[in-house]
Structure 1
Amino acid sequence: MTDHLVPAHEPSDAGLNAIIGERRHLINLAYRLLGSLADAEDAVQETYARWYALSRQQQDAIASPGAWLTTVASRVCLDLLGSARVRRERYVGEWIPEPVPEPSQWINGRSGDAAGDPADRATLDESVSMAFLVVLEAMTPAERVALILHDVFRYSFAEIAGIVGRTPAACRELASSARRRIRATQAPPTPASRQARIVRDFKRAWEARDIDALIGLLDPHVTAVADGGGVVSTALRPVAGAERIAHSLVLLEDRLRDLTLLERTVNGQPGLIAQRDGVTVSVYAFEIAGDRITHIWAVRNPEKLRTWTTGPSLTSGRS
């Protein structure tokens, strides 16, 4: 991406490095807002294009280029969320956020800005989990932006108000409404070690085509959702119920015997990937409550699996 960022006028090396150094932070922000790395990269590219469209005098007048870039990126994402909703209504089958590997690539907030109501500062440590991103999809764009900027990236409601074009009080209510949605739909977190054990047991039962073992690992009301993007054959609607999903998994295993299942971290949580000849063709994310799997998300759309084949596009942390 940075190869395309060619300024019309040359700032100092230090200034240019500082601006380019914001890219990781902006990608992290845009991915959480949009649920797609491809869209996030487009949003960040547009943000830098707007920066370099400014005159040198205009750039020098900006006290905090990083804050300016974050504001612009958030507004670009806000616009994209409206058009994305229309695109996803026309999407073939179910749309699932793009899965990403390795949690260390994502940041969960910024230092400072510690004042305010403690209830408003609840950090969403699982802010890139598939379960969390799926809940975000049901929110309005303004709710999504207010929640992510405040609870994850620690921006004040006064700052958010300038981004979404509402009052600080309205932004506070947007974030509160978003939190209520999360509390209503997400189960209490299960320790990572227990999640990993359950996913490992699920993998073994699936490979063994052990229907009884699979049913024992699935919540009776479990739901499985697959995303093939219309280019890969997959179920177009969610499948519900432990027995139905267990039988479907065994049938799938029979048809796909040439695949290798591997345990991997998917959006910060224990998950699985399926590979054929070393190429990832499916990524599986799970939501677990207690000792049972309550949701399975299977991403098979090749456009959403590029980071699993070519390697992640992000480095860890924010400079």
Structure 2
Amino acid sequence: MMPTRDQKLWMLENMLVSRRLEERLAEIYMEGKKPVFNMASGPIPGEMHLSNGQEPCAVGVCAHLKPNDVVTATHRPHHIAVAKGVDLDRMVAEIFGKATGLSGGRGGHMHLFDPTVNFSCSGIIAQGMGPAVGAALSRKLQKKDGVAVSFLGEGAANQGAFHESLNLASLWKLPVVFVIEDNAWGVSVSKAASTAIPNNHIRAQAYGMPGFLVKDNDPIAIFDVAGEAIARARTGGGPTLIEIETYRLAGHFMGDAEGYRPDGERERLAAKDPIPRLKEQMKANGELKDSDHDAIVKRCDAAIEEAIEFARQSPYPSPEEALEKVFV
């Protein structure tokens, strides 16, 4: 299953929105945190996990999704939120902790929630898997259209929730797709030091579902495999496990010294940056002109700056609101 030119343009644009948004957020995050880094200072306090480098995972999968399809993501969620169509203004306002944010500033960047496009994420490892299975079960029981997709990291494949979720999804033949974003590092622990098998997609066999490995962080290959898995789910074929070899171009979080990386690893990964790779591939195929790319970048930057200005100008929630929406 090959994407059309329009689908490739959509993937390229959403990858650029995510990357350029995170570049701006990284700049703003460091405001008030120099010369001595203090995570609590500045307009964006707390941890910040960037997804730069992992954008192909989001666009290759979400290109096949509809608004009523459910997506659960990880603590590194920006690229997936962008590709799923989460409102950019309210997403950035939430990251700033403002009252106009998706959750009124309560959740921050690791707990984005947009029910208008059925997107959520969590800072708890593997936490989104159970809700994705539940969403898929609800669709099946109510005979409603829609699939669920659960994004997770390779470290989450060693959690109990992973095995419980795969077991029930296969037992009940649910319309759910599990997508492992394998960036090779669980914080500072390598996959080789934490996982007994070289690739997690082979675990699908134990639960009677197809398992696929997509190498080299290739958005076109991800699109192909994800398209088949999502089509299978929509037609009653049950769940699929997809493992994607991806990588993060920065640390686990802002401020991470990355002393655990082997010498030269960051440079080798940067040389394989998936965004310029897709751009050059499309140019070579006659699918993209420099003027097309410039127009996309201009459109992305305008939307990003508008969202940042919206967030900066928005009010903070009042202290009293901390007691609201605690129980529903």
User: Shared fold by TM > 0.5?
Assistant: no
- The structure with the greater share of residues assigned to helix is 1
